Structure 1
């Protein structure tokens, strides 16, 4: 087991500086209301992963520091911390938590930086802390299974169930999502097939639109084109045409070539021009042969372009956009087949997940029912020792009021977040009456004793080294308080106890007694925790008995309480 040996505070709430040593056994912390008793619980909570706040910083300071030194079975804790890359050595370790004014905090274990999750892991392993408001947990039936699992050590079975449930729901979600996509695609299948058939029927070729528009422009201007071509041929081939004129020029130049050699250069150029005109005329005549009015072809081109324009108007404005859209819907049609195959595979894979989920649910419920029977029997004994000899404590299971039903292999379970069945504590303090829901029938004092009985049993199974109770004595007094004190004393034989109490009966049974005092220093309130000598304990117990005064009567009563506790 691991226990708290020292707690140091600096600029924490109303504590400017404190260094407190804790011993084994039962330590009681008392003090007037507002003296700062519960700050110890808050400090320990922060060391073990509680959320921090700048409200914890003492006014005027910029940082609050809490440091705790723990001793005990370090080897077993190292096994739990193996995944966190933390290796503790020796027989003790120190946890430090620094809280900054911006609300952020820094956590260290032996000067090694760690995250809050690691502190929580350590806290769950070494300490069971009962805060002022944890009584309310018993009045919330949704938390009852948490207590049962802690007592029955069902955590592994519960983790297996929640993991199986998560895996099943993930698979189920994928199936539903894929089925929705298939359904949506199915709704569009007919439209997609019609659109694809329309596009494929037109079967647009690359650059076809530009080619058709060019051909249509030519057919629409046949007469104009032929007239221009025929006129051009005539200007070249007529008696006074360009070919004849270039020939006459060539003849003139050749006639003077011997007497004027310089014209030889021009002669070649004119000859080239004459040849060019002849070739141009031949080409133009060939073009004329291929140019004729063709109303049928013009109509055909118009219809083809109309089909192309219609597709462009419907599917994107350009031929490229039309072809891209066709590819998209063709993929969608093809993907539906692959999605159907994927859906079938997912449904096949769901079968073993359902089987495994049922197995983990059955195992968890079996462990809980076994633990519930054992808990009922043990609680009867514990409550009897706490002044409730006729009390009955039962865990009742019922179907969840709401939740998803899983029907598989002739079985049906409700997939609740906390398990296949809801669980609730039923309680009866008096003989002859039927047990009813604890949240409805238990008084404040009864709730305190039920909580202490549960904590006692859980602590015995958990084997945590440190138990911290803040006002576990709420709603009790007199002889009942003595019974609670004896129970706490029994617990202290196994574990280290730190108990904040306002009852003298409980404080008198403590092995060690600390008192929280509040005083004014330099016009500022400070809280301090001081260990009490035996005489100081007598005075403090007397104050608690009378509510403030201390005299011979209070001294005798305090001495009597201490003597009774010592003789137990």
Structure 2
């Protein structure tokens, strides 16, 4: 339940602190006093959209804080999932708006997103505004109503999961079928492209080797000439380096004995001779290996031309990329060949998923079929004393294409008169009748939803007198197991409150401010008398106010 609401610099509110009590609290006040402003501030900490226009003092932030007692509600999982500090007894929601329009949200002083604030707020307070009365005509709301009373969350979750899996397989099958059809159309093209690359017998890295061989073959004659000249320089009998070194070695041996123990020059010459002899042998091998082969050169050039042609055609730069492309074509052709088998396998999975979905939907249908007539009967029982003695309600389950919510939609039909046929509730119910029906619905589902707090924003619109008193009794009954806050303009409802607050507006110079006052017993009498008679209090109005309050006390006893 909400224990305290603190509002600072919001619209006409400078600062307001409201201490709420358990059971039924009522908020009254003249039209325009600011009851909707208080509700708007509360909506901020429940994650509703912020309007910068509520920041009236541009020198300071707007701050709204709500203090909630959560000791009896299992909310630990939410705090753990969102990594927020958890206090098992109290939770503080805060929203700040800066004059520049920046909005910040906090849970227990931990910065959070507005979405997180809204998710938690929905588990703490249900605000029923007049706008929500429109939901009664919404088939989705009607379906949710049946499901809440059916307590079929497990079946709903199973149906949702089955539908998601079924939809995934449908999409997968459609995609595979489209791809297979497209692939069939281009199969001949793919096969031609693959065959051309396969016939090329591509080898990774061959392009570099071919280019090196082409360079060598194209210069074979030139290279052989150079090799001949090099070997001639080394081993020519007339001017060759090797014969000259041989002679040099012989002559050095004849004189080196005269020069002591220094390293023998002839040995060094011999070493040079051996190295050059080895070089000469290498050059000879190169010369023998190098063949002037125009036929091989033409063959290499043709191969290089083929590779370049394929690269240009397929818009790649390397043979390795051609090989990857060839393998991709092969894989696509294989998928085409085996595509029907894969499609058949997924189709079988889809059949199983469809059966599972319809099984889950059937379980939902059975629960709903049990609850629908009970809901209709309970609505008639609760609504009849609210000025609708001849009320009739039917809750119909209409078949629809199976989705995550099951295989039916709900249609609530209504008639308030004996001679009126049942028709969709949104078509025939008046505003007052819809308000009363929604109150009955909230009463029926409040225990199932286990919400800590519900706020009614003038749900008693369009009713008066005895009917208003009975609506007040319903709110009082609801407050036995939850906190109920009612914003009302009816004295009969206001008299039912365990705690009474009055919202009023005062002008301070040229500035109007909204205030809130918790009323004592005598003040309650005066406020309810004002609601009965207007601004001019009469003795009769005061007596009637006392009677209404006394009746509440008797009912509580």
Answer whether TM exceeds 0.5 for this pair: yes
- In the TM superposition, 1:202-217 aligns within 5 A as 202-204=200-202, 206=206, 207=208, 209-210=210-211, 213-214=214-215, 217=218
Which secondary structure does the structure 2 equivalent of 1:364 belong to? helix
Deviation at 1:179, TM superposition (A): 4.6
Contact 1:482–1:505 (CA under 8 A) maintained in structure 2 = yes
2:454–2:483 CA contact under 8 A, matched in 1: yes
Q: 1:287 to 1:522 in 2, by over 3 A?
A: same
Residue 62 (structure 1) aligned with residue 61 (structure 2): yes
Distance 1:38 1:528 in 2: 12
For residues 505-549 of structure 1, the C-alpha deviation after alignment (integer angstroms, 9 at most, x for no partner) is 322333332110111236432211112234333332333234433
8 Å contact kept, 1:376–1:395? yes
Which TM-score applies when normalising by structure 1? 0.77
Instruction: Give the aligned partner of residue 90 of structure 2.
Output: 93
Contact 1:41 1:131 in 2 (8 A): no
User: Does residue 485 in structure 1 map to residue 472 in structure 2?
Assistant: yes
Q: Is the 8 A contact 2:104 2:111 kept in 1?
A: no
The whole-number CA distance in structure 1 between the counterparts of 2:116 and 2:535 is 44
- CA deviation digits over 1:41-100, x for unaligned, max 9? 3444445554555555452421403232437xx2x42x44245346645xx524231324
Q: Indicate how the Cα distance of structure 1 residues 212 and 431 shifts in structure 2: closer, same or farther if over 3 A, else same.
A: same
Provide the C-alpha distance between the structure 2 equivalents of 1:144 and 1:482, rounded to a whole number of angstroms. 27
Structure 1 residues 306 and 128, CA gap change in structure 2 (3 angstroms): closer
- Sort the Cα spacing of 1:490 and 1:152 in 2 relative to 1 into closer, same or farther, 3 A: same
User: Equivalences for 1:289-304 in 2 at 5 Å?
Assistant: 300=299, 303-304=302-303
Root-mean-square deviation (CA, aligned residues, Å) is 4.7
- Once the two structures are TM-superposed, the CA of residue 329 in structure 1 deviates from its matched residue by 3.1
Q: For residues 365-403 of structure 1, give each alpha carbon's deviation from its aligned partner in whole angstroms, at most 9, with x where no partner exists.
A: 222222211100001111101111111112222233xxx
Q: How many angstroms apart in 1 are the aligned matches of 2:15 and 2:287?
A: 109
5+ residue gaps, structure 2: 259-264
SS at match of 1:385: coil
- Shift of the alpha carbon at 1:502? 1.3
1:135 to 133, 136, 146: 133
Q: Compared with structure 1, are the counterparts of its residues 31 and 487 closer, same or farther at alpha carbon in structure 2 (3 Å cutoff)? A: same
How many residue pairs align between the two structures?
538
Give SS of 1:11's match. strand
Equivalent of 1:432 in 395, 419, 431: 419
SS at match of 1:7: strand
Distance 2:380 2:175 in 1: 51
Instruction: Tell me how far apart the structure 2 counterparts of residues 434 and 181 of structure 1 sit (CA, whole Å).
Output: 54
Aligned 8 A contact 1:138 1:439 in 2: yes
**Residue 426 (structure 1) shift:** 1.3
Whole-angstrom distance in 2 between the partners of 1:460 and 1:228: 105
Measured after TM superposition, the shift of residue 32 of structure 1 is 1.4
Q: Deviation at 1:30?
A: 0.9
In the alignment, the residues of structure 2 paired with residue 302 and residue 345 of structure 1 have an alpha-carbon distance, to the nearest angstrom, of 50
Equivalent position of 2:399 in the other structure: 399
- The 3 A distance-change label for structure 1 pair 152 and 322 is closer
- Unpaired runs of at least 5, structure 1: 401-413
336 and 56 in structure 1: CA distance in 2 versus 1, 3 angstrom threshold: farther
Shift of 1:237: 12
**Whole-angstrom distance in 2 between the partners of 1:41 and 1:347:** 54
After TM superposition, list the pairs within 5 Å mapping 1:366-381 onto structure 2. 366-381=366-381
Report deviation, 1:480: 3.2
Question: 1:298-317 maps to which residues of 2 (within 5 A)?
Answer: 300=299, 303-315=302-314, 316-317=316-317
**Counterpart Cα distance in 2 of 1:484 and 1:182:** 64
Other-structure match for 1:18: 16
1:498 aligns with 2:485: yes
Alpha-carbon displacement from aligned partner over 1:332-379 (angstroms, at most 9, x marks no partner):
445667877765654454444333322221122222222211100001
Give 1:444's aligned residue: 431
Contact 1:424 1:437 in 2 (8 A): yes
Aligned to 1:84: 79
State how far apart, in whole Å, the 2-side matches of 1:155 and 1:45 are. 27
- How far, CA to CA, are the matches of 1:87 and 1:298 in structure 2? 82
C-alpha distance in 2 between matches for 1:229 and 1:106 = 87
SS of the counterpart of 2:171?
helix
- Distance, in Å, in 1 between the alignment partners of 2:304 and 2:124 is 84
Q: In the TM superposition, what are the counterparts of 1:38-187 in structure 2 within 5 Å?
A: 38-50=36-48, 54-59=52-57, 60-70=59-69, 74=71, 76-77=72-73, 79-82=74-77, 84-85=79-80, 88-89=87-88, 92-101=89-98, 102-108=102-108, 123-187=121-185
**Aligned counterparts of 2:507 and 2:286: Cα–Cα separation in 1:** 120
Q: Give, in angstroms, the shift of residue 451 of structure 1.
A: 0.7
**Contact 2:63–2:97 (8 Å) recurs in 1:** yes
Contact kept in structure 2, 1:47 and 1:95, CA below 8 Å: no
